Chains A and B, each alone.
Chain A
Amino acid sequence: MGLVAIATGKFLSSFSVFLFLTVLLMVVARRISTSVLLFSLQSAIITAEVFAMGVREKLAAAYVVGALVLLIKVIAIPYAFFRLVDRLKSPRDVKASTTPTQSVFIAGAMIYLSYAAVHSFGQTVHVPEDALAAAVALILTGSFLMVSRKKALMQMLGLLVLENGIFLAALITTFGMPLVIEIGIFFDILVGLLLMGIFTFRIRDTFDHLDVSKLRRLRG
């Protein structure tokens, strides 16, 4: 019994390393499909963490949440993305506005910043510092992806990464939120994605491209 608890605790903190890895890979990825795959992987790691949390805290609801994450973020959303990429028939490139080297440096700085920000917080509240840092890093990198990638699809993906970070932070600091709230959040993402998907099609149909940096008519 004690062994399981120790194992899950270790798991929760050490799997952050893999999250950092996905983040770093994601900022250098050149293709949309690679990014989607990495996102799916990232979500899978988070699913594992949810299950680990369920084992450690003995929460039945956590398994339901974990199943939902698996279903929606690991399978459904990436699948929808691949279909979207196929249907849109636009070039596969993410159209980064920073070179891969710059991106890695910025992502590294983000990771450093998240450790720095979390450091003092982690000592007062008993949460695994690495996991919390990973959550903040996900939030920051998600925003960075939204800012630096010109493809509308990448903005959606950035938002999802950001959301992953928020989800992870919530999971770690509260040891699992009530099921109702979790379901509400999932519903939120789904509706948001649906809307963004529709808008992506509209952008493509209206402007024949997906480059958001060229959409600058909305100003007073």
Chain B
Amino acid sequence: MQVVSIQVAFGFLLASLGLLAPLVLIASRTKRARAFAITLIVGSNVVGWFVAALCFWGESKLALTFSGFTPFPFALGLDRLSAFFLLLICTVAVPVAIFAVSYFDKHYGEQRRNWIWAFFSLFLLSMITVVTASTGFAFLVGWELMTLLSAGLILMEGDSAERRHNVFIYLLMMHAGAAAVVASFFLFLPYSHSLDFAGIRAASPVVPAGIRVLIFLLAFVGFGTKAGIIPLHLWLPRAHPIAPSPASALMSGVMLKTAVYGFVRFAFDFLGGGPSWFGYVVLVAGAVSGLLGVLYAIAEHDLKRLLAYHSVENIGIIYLGLGTSLVFLANHAPVLAALALIAALLHTLNHALFKSLLFLGAGAISNATHTVDLEELGGLQRRMPVTGTAFLIACCSIVGLPLFNGFISEWLTFRSFLAGSVLLNTKAQIVLPLMVGVLALIGGLAAACFVKVFGVAFLGRPRSSEAEHAVEAPLLMRGGMTMLAAACLLIGILPGVLLRPLASLTQVLIPGAGVPDETVSIARIIPWIAAIILGVTAITALTTRVQRMAPTWGCGLSQLTSRMQYTSTAFSKPIRFVFSSVYKPDRKLDKLPTDKPYFPVSISYRSVRTTSYEKALYRPFVDLIVSAAHQLRRLQTGNIQVYLLYIFLTLVALLTFLRFQR
């Protein structure tokens, strides 16, 4: 009985996102129809949340087959892993949709608003299809739609040449990644004879070792492109900032996670781990992405680009956890492997929550001030208290402060690194504890970065008149952000709610894994610490009543202006100085007029980060393709007889081949 009702509820989710809402939006332009469609989107996601919750916390499973209507087997299903990611999507989708109601209303005309909502709905559906697919065909359909629909959302915002160029790079890299994913699916085909997930899982033990390596590497590259690990991240800082804020929240918060899902599905569920170098590859990729991601983020002063680079960083942390898990799995330590996998999966959910909250915050800021350039913000906390507080909670979460959700997952990742020293393998004994240093450095730099973001944007004095006249975001925007902030706090204080089902989830993926002690202990301790801290804060707040208000000390100067404040660039200067070998900045100082250097009329200074590896890695490849294309272009002369000659020569060549073949 319950199974049937879950199926009906899941079917309702699919039907309303995929058919009902878009059809209503496209068919009718009235306000009431749009309100109905939006209610449908939000409502169906709430229903989807409950479906996912039943399958994640409970034992329910679900399977829906559409193979009768499609040319290839198309089936959706929910096991624990899928349910976890469906939970993630629905948890983020509801507040983002609520936020988007007033955001889209303000930013788009009547005509576009319906289209963007239709895209929004279908984009959600495509991501749900990816994480719930139980056949390769369903997965790939969802995967491609996800790419195309997100590109559509980006182009909704406008279609300037620069935007088109960025979308082109996005689509190019996504399709290259998708090709790798398709190839890794099809490599299973000779052994499994179908792309059914159950069939692939059953056939996986008979796949020869060489093919397994190939499958793993293709899946790593394919999903890594979507996840944005360095050096496959090029599209990410280009595509995410230019999307409308709710769409960037979904892309950064949810779409990247589908890549993590795909990778976990392949590496753990299908292949069941592999040699330990698989794990080291993933570890190194995670460490590089984490470090470079956060370093690039610090140097940015465009808030949305900065957040996009932080997505690279957090994907790096997730990959660190996944790599550690693979190393443990190869060294026959299932419990520790489970610990690292739990850490990675929990960080996936946490990142989805706080990163979408940060992007929504950026949306609220741009809604109030029409800019996301940190150098033009400042003093927003007073003007937008709710947005500021929600943003602060997200900042605390992303840098992993205790009592916020980021802390739990980073703590578990740390614990799994330290546990590496108990392994008997020398390499693992050295590498895994070293990663503690890497993760600590990432965390420290992220903290510096978000001190900069919050300090420059929300504290101090406004740096522009727009920031000075900013007003608090409308009710629905505040509502969406508050929901996400509450979720961040809830997981940060009561992690046991998620850690227990996650432990049973990893038991399915990693045979022989028990419940790791570390997860139990932290779930037990954190609520008490929270209670103590709350108590102490309450007592101090009640006992100290006297507050003295005084002007800021201006070093003897009578007038303080906003130009005297730390700028975003100045704040990050020491870090950029220390890591200048990473940035390789290209500095340029122009003084005008040039013949009188000591009496300049204007001075302009420019410092551009040149990423040398982008040139070194991509340039030869791009040059090769472009020159090959130029050579091939010479074939196209425009003369019809030359074209006919090609056909003629092909015919002759084939006949000659036929002659000598026998």
Q: In the complex the two chains form, is B656's CB within 8 Å of A113's CB?
A: yes
Q: In the complex the two chains form, is B641's CB within 8 Å of A219's CB?
A: no
**A150 interface contact, C-beta 8 A:** yes
Provided the pairs A113-B652, A117-B655, A119-B659 are in contact, do residues A150 and B641 lie with their beta carbons within 8 angstroms?
Answer: yes
1/0 per residue B631-662: CB within 8 Å of A?
A: 00100111111001101100110011011001
Count of A-B contacts with CB under 8 A? 56
Q: In the complex the two chains form, is A143's CB within 8 Å of B644's CB?
A: yes
Stretch at the interface among A20-28, A80-88, A187-195, A208-216: A208-216
Instruction: Determine the residue in chain B with the shortest Cβ distance to A120.
Output: B662
Residues of B contacting A119 in the complex (Cβ-Cβ under 8 angstroms): 659
- Within the complex, what minimum Cβ distance (angstroms) separates B631 from chain A? 15
Residues of B contacting A212 in the complex (Cβ-Cβ under 8 angstroms): 639-641
1/0 per residue A135-154: CB within 8 Å of B?
A: 01001100110111010000
Residues of A contacting B659 in the complex (Cβ-Cβ under 8 angstroms): 113, 116-117, 119-120
Interface of B is mostly: helix
Instruction: Give Cα distance in the complex from A150 to B642, angstroms.
Output: 11
Residues of B contacting A97 in the complex (Cβ-Cβ under 8 angstroms): 641
Residues of A contacting B640 in the complex (Cβ-Cβ under 8 angstroms): 155, 212, 215
Instruction: Give Cα distance in the complex from A119 to B640, angstroms.
Output: 33
Q: Which of B639, B648, B655, B658 contacts A213 (CB 8 A)?
A: B639
Q: In the complex the two chains form, is A213's CB within 8 Å of B656's CB?
A: no
Q: In the complex the two chains form, is B638's CB within 8 Å of A218's CB?
A: yes
Chain A positions 170-220 with a Cβ under 8 Å from a chain B Cβ: 212-213, 215-220
Q: In the complex the two chains form, is B652's CB within 8 Å of A216's CB?
A: no
Instruction: Give Cα distance in the complex from A136 to B662, angstroms.
Output: 18
Q: Which of B638, B641, B655, B662 contacts A113 (CB 8 A)?
A: B655
Provided the pairs A113-B652, A144-B648, A147-B648 are in contact, do residues A216 and B638 lie with their beta carbons within 8 angstroms?
Answer: yes
Q: In the complex the two chains form, is B651's CB within 8 Å of A143's CB?
A: yes
**A8 interface contact, C-beta 8 A:** no
- Within the complex, what minimum Cβ distance (angstroms) separates A23 from chain B? 15
Q: Which of A136, A140, A148, A219 contacts B638 (CB 8 A)?
A: A219
Provided the pairs A117-B658, A144-B648 are in contact, do residues A220 and B636 lie with their beta carbons within 8 angstroms?
Answer: yes
Q: Which of B636, B641, B655, B658 contacts A147 (CB 8 A)?
A: B641
- Within the complex, what minimum Cβ distance (angstroms) separates A48 from chain B? 27
Residues of B contacting A140 in the complex (Cβ-Cβ under 8 angstroms): 648, 651-652, 655
Residues of B contacting A217 in the complex (Cβ-Cβ under 8 angstroms): 638
Q: Which of A144, A155, A219 contacts B637 (CB 8 A)?
A: A219
Provided the pairs A117-B659, A146-B644, A147-B645 are in contact, do residues A216 and B637 lie with their beta carbons within 8 angstroms?
Answer: yes
Instruction: Give Cα distance in the complex from A174 to B212, angstroms.
Output: 49
**A35 interface contact, C-beta 8 A:** no
Residues of B contacting A47 in the complex (Cβ-Cβ under 8 angstroms): none
Q: In the complex the two chains form, is A216's CB within 8 Å of B636's CB?
A: no
Residues of A contacting B638 in the complex (Cβ-Cβ under 8 angstroms): 215-219
Residues of B contacting A113 in the complex (Cβ-Cβ under 8 angstroms): 652, 655-656, 659
Instruction: Give Cα distance in the complex from A144 to B645, angstroms.
Output: 8
Q: In the complex the two chains form, is B639's CB within 8 Å of A147's CB?
A: no
**A16 interface contact, C-beta 8 A:** no
**A40 interface contact, C-beta 8 A:** no
Instruction: Determine the residue in chain B with the shortest Cβ distance to A212.
Output: B640
Q: In the complex the two chains form, is A215's CB within 8 Å of B639's CB?
A: yes
How many chain B residues touch the partner (CB < 8 A)? Answer: 18
Q: In the complex the two chains form, is B645's CB within 8 Å of A219's CB?
A: no
Instruction: Determine the residue in chain B with the shortest Cβ distance to A117.
Output: B655
Provided the pairs A113-B655, A136-B655 are in contact, do residues A143 and B648 lie with their beta carbons within 8 angstroms?
Answer: yes
Residues of B contacting A150 in the complex (Cβ-Cβ under 8 angstroms): 641
Residues of A contacting B648 in the complex (Cβ-Cβ under 8 angstroms): 140, 143-144, 146-147
Q: Which of B637, B651, B656, B662 contacts A139 (CB 8 A)?
A: B651
**A114 interface contact, C-beta 8 A:** yes
Residues of B contacting A155 in the complex (Cβ-Cβ under 8 angstroms): 640, 644
Residues of B contacting A218 in the complex (Cβ-Cβ under 8 angstroms): 638
Instruction: Give Cα distance in the complex from A143 to B637, angstroms.
Output: 19
Instruction: Give Cα distance in the complex from A113 to B657, angstroms.
Output: 11
Chain A positions 31-78 with a Cβ under 8 Å from a chain B Cβ: none
Instruction: Determine the residue in chain B with the shortest Cβ distance to A136.
Output: B655
Q: In the complex the two chains form, is B641's CB within 8 Å of A146's CB?
A: yes
Instruction: Determine the residue in chain B with the shortest Cβ distance to A219.
Output: B638
Residues of A contacting B636 in the complex (Cβ-Cβ under 8 angstroms): 219-220
Q: In the complex the two chains form, is B662's CB within 8 Å of A143's CB?
A: no
Q: In the complex the two chains form, is A216's CB within 8 Å of B639's CB?
A: yes
Instruction: Determine the residue in chain A with the shortest Cβ distance to B647.
Output: A143
Instruction: Give Cα distance in the complex from A216 to B637, angstroms.
Output: 7
Instruction: Give Cα distance in the complex from A210 to B655, angstroms.
Output: 32
- Within the complex, what minimum Cβ distance (angstroms) separates B642 from chain A? 8
Instruction: Give Cα distance in the complex from A7 to B633, angstroms.
Output: 55
- Within the complex, what minimum Cβ distance (angstroms) separates A179 from chain B? 29
Instruction: Give Cα distance in the complex from A155 to B641, angstroms.
Output: 9
Residues of A contacting B644 in the complex (Cβ-Cβ under 8 angstroms): 143, 146-147, 155
- Within the complex, what minimum Cβ distance (angstroms) separates B629 from chain A? 11
Q: In the complex the two chains form, is A114's CB within 8 Å of B655's CB?
A: yes
Instruction: Give Cα distance in the complex from A219 to B658, angstroms.
Output: 33
Instruction: Give Cα distance in the complex from A157 to B651, angstroms.
Output: 19
Instruction: Determine the residue in chain A with the shortest Cβ distance to B646.
Output: A147
Instruction: Determine the residue in chain B with the shortest Cβ distance to A218.
Output: B638
Residues of A contacting B639 in the complex (Cβ-Cβ under 8 angstroms): 212-213, 215-216
Instruction: Give Cα distance in the complex from A171 to B647, angstroms.
Output: 24
Instruction: Give Cα distance in the complex from A27 to B652, angstroms.
Output: 17
Instruction: Determine the residue in chain A with the shortest Cβ distance to B648.
Output: A143
- Within the complex, what minimum Cβ distance (angstroms) separates A119 from chain B? 7
Instruction: Determine the residue in chain A with the shortest Cβ distance to B655.
Output: A117
Instruction: Give Cα distance in the complex from A143 to B645, angstroms.
Output: 8
Indicate the member of B633, B637, B651 with the most A CB atoms within 10 Å. Answer: B651
Instruction: Determine the residue in chain B with the shortest Cβ distance to A149.
Output: B641
Instruction: Determine the residue in chain A with the shortest Cβ distance to B633.
Output: A220
Instruction: Give Cα distance in the complex from A97 to B658, angstroms.
Output: 29
Instruction: Determine the residue in chain B with the shortest Cβ distance to A159.
Output: B644
Instruction: Give Cα distance in the complex from A2 to B641, angstroms.
Output: 49
Instruction: Give Cα distance in the complex from A157 to B119, angstroms.
Output: 54
Residues of A contacting B633 in the complex (Cβ-Cβ under 8 angstroms): 220
Instruction: Determine the residue in chain B with the shortest Cβ distance to A124.
Output: B662
- Within the complex, what minimum Cβ distance (angstroms) separates A120 from chain B? 5
Instruction: Determine the residue in chain B with the shortest Cβ distance to A121.
Output: B658
Residues of A contacting B658 in the complex (Cβ-Cβ under 8 angstroms): 117
- Within the complex, what minimum Cβ distance (angstroms) separates B657 from chain A? 9
Q: List 17 A-B contacts (CB under 8 A).
A: A113-B655, A116-B655, A117-B656, A117-B658, A117-B659, A120-B662, A136-B655, A140-B651, A140-B655, A143-B644, A143-B651, A146-B641, A146-B644, A147-B644, A213-B641, A215-B640, A220-B636
Interface residues of B (CB under 8 A from A): 633, 636-641, 644-645, 647-648, 651-652, 655-656, 658-659, 662
Interface residues of A (CB under 8 A from B): 97, 113-114, 116-117, 119-120, 136, 139-140, 143-144, 146-148, 150, 155, 212-213, 215-220
Additional A-B contacts beyond A143-B648, A216-B637, A219-B638 (15; CB < 8 A):
A114-B655, A116-B656, A116-B659, A120-B659, A120-B662, A140-B652, A144-B648, A146-B641, A146-B648, A148-B641, A212-B639, A212-B640, A213-B639, A216-B638, A220-B636
Closest 8 CB pairs of A and B: A219-B638, A216-B638, A117-B655, A143-B648, A116-B659, A147-B645, A147-B644, A120-B662
